[in-house]
Structures are given as structure tokens and as C-alpha cells.
Amino acid sequence: MPECFIKTHRVVFWFFWALVSLAGIPAASAQEGPLNSEALILKYRPVLAPETFKTLLTLELERSGRPAKHYHIALWQKNPGLVRLLFEAPPSEKGKILLKKKDKYFLALPDLGEVIQLPPSQISDWGFFYAENLFPFYFHKDLDWGPVQHQGDQWTISIKRKSDQALWISCTLASPEGPVTRVALFDPSGKKIRTVSIDWEGAPPHERPKRMEVENHFPEPYRARIRIEDLRLKPVFPAQAFEIDLPGPTEK
């Protein structure tokens, strides 16, 4: 199996596993009175951290020095531990399946009758496979939340870890009440790791994410744009939805 083929699909698999956020459950609940910065960000957790859903997505992936690739993918998720991606386009990818079952990852190639198991160590080599690396403030405690600050025509919140007072995350808001339109993540030295830009639709309290762009700066530069075309919340999946009926997996 060509290494470039495996690497492309790892990036796509990470991207959609991390992008469960975009399945946008109906909106954040309305709040009365001013919110502190932590409460303001946390009120959007219901729309940025859904658990069980299925959706159709389009993805444009650009990597340095390579032509952009376009995908049409059906994404199913049953709780965070089960994720299934079915490639519907382009024709060269149609029918391929990426599957996550807890801490195991598989690439199924039905045309070849092959299943390749991707070890977590190889997935981790991409540096940000897991969902908590897009919106880590939903998965970490012991954080130092800065105030909502007005800067020009936007509002920002700086988030630091109490164990390390270097800037960790900068959130940009559409208004003092939200929603979050941009998240920038930094390493302890101040180097920018990636930025996540979010476009929303609907009016409060029923807004939800519709498009997202991830620009990765480190360790591998790339840009990914995603759009949701269909969404069904809390669906009933077929009994074998997260199984692959092919010969046993071979390790890569």
C-alpha cells in the first residue's frame, strides 16, 4: 500500500474525528445576564461537542506543494468511541471506509478485500488526531480564563493553563455574547500550532456551525475546509454499522 495513500487517509480520518463538533446539535441555551468568559465558552459545548449523529460532509484538503483534494463523505458517530467514514467521492476513493472503534483505527478497501489496522502510535504522529485538540478547553480543567476583551471590531478571550502562564488558546468572538468564530492554539514557546475558523448559521439561541476551516502550521502545514450538507441527530444505526465484513485486518 503506497505510503502517500495511507498518510492522506490518516489526515482525513483525524480531520473528521476531530470535526464531530460540526454536527451542531441545536443551539446553545439562552442565558440571562452577563456571562464570565468561562461560562460564555462553555455554553456552546452542546453545539461543539455532539455525541451521536450522522451527516454528509464535503472536504477540501490542501497540503503544501500538492493539488487540493476534494471529498464527499458520510460521517456516522455513535458516542465518541465509534466513528465511521464512508467515502462517496471522488470516484477513486468511493467505497473506502475509515473506522474508529475506541482506541483502534482501520482503513477498509472493499475493492481489494483488504482491511489495514492503523496503530494509534502512527495516528498520533500527526500530532492532533483527537477531537480535544481542536477545542481543548472543553476537555481540560485547571485553566486560567482571561476576561472578554474588546479589540477593534471583535472580542477575544485568552486562556492559559495555571501550570504554565504562557498563552495557550486565543478565542475570537462575534460579539460579547458569542459565538466563537476563531480558535488559535499555541505551544508553550508561543509558536502557533493551528487555527480553527467557524462560520455559524441561525439566530440565538438556535445557531449552529455550518462551515469550518482548519489551518495547521505545525508539524505539517495544511488547510482543510469542511461544509455540512445534511445532519440527523440521535439516529438509529444498523446493527453492523460499525463493523467491517472483510478479511481480518493486516497491521501497517
pLDDT at 82: 87
pLDDT of 189 > 70? The answer is yes
- pLDDT confidence of residue 28: 46
Distance CA 223, CA 46 (A): 26
Inside any domain, residue 252: no
pLDDT-derived band at 23 (thresholds 50, 70, 90) equals very low
> Across the chain, how many H-helices and E-strands are there?
4, 15
Beta bridge partners of 71: 59
Q: Is the four-CA dihedral 41, 128, 101, 11 of positive or negative sign?
A: positive
Give the pLDDT of residue 250: 60
How many domains is the chain built from?
A: 1
71: left (phi over 0), alpha (psi -120 to 50) or beta: beta
Report pLDDT digits (tens) over 47-93: 777 778 888 999 998 888 788 999 999 989 888 788 898 999 999 99
Q: Is residue 201 part of a domain?
A: yes
Mean pLDDT of the 37-53 span: 84
CATH number reported for the structural domain that contains residue 197 in this entry: 2.50.20.10
- Is the model's pLDDT at 4 over the cut of 60? no
How far apart are the C-alpha atoms of 184 and 125, rounded to whole Å?
21
The domain in which residue 156 lies consists of 3-247
- Give mean pLDDT, residues 231-246: 84
Which pLDDT value is given to residue 119? 77
Strands (E), the chain: 53-63, 69-78, 82-89, 97-101, 104-109, 114-118, 143-145, 149-151, 154-161, 164-173, 180-186, 192-201, 208-216, 222-233, 250-251
Q: What's residue 228's pLDDT?
A: 83
pLDDT digits (tens, 9 = 90+) for 120-139: 666 543 333 345 667 888 88
* Residue 132 pLDDT: 62
Domain assignment present for residue 198? The answer is yes
Mark 85-106 as b/e (b = at least 16 C-beta within 10 Å).
bbbbeeeebeebbbbbeeeebb
148 occurs within a structural domain: yes
pLDDT of 170-181, one tens digit each?
999 999 888 999
Convert 160-198 to b/e letters by CB count within 10 Å (16 or more is b).
bbeeeeebbbbbbbeeebbbbbbbbbbeeeeeeebbbbb
pLDDT of residue 168: 92
Q: Greater confidence, 209 or 27? A: 209
Predicted pLDDT of residue 249: 54
- The predicted model gives 226-247 an average pLDDT of 83
Report the C-alpha gap between 205 and 92 in whole angstroms. 41
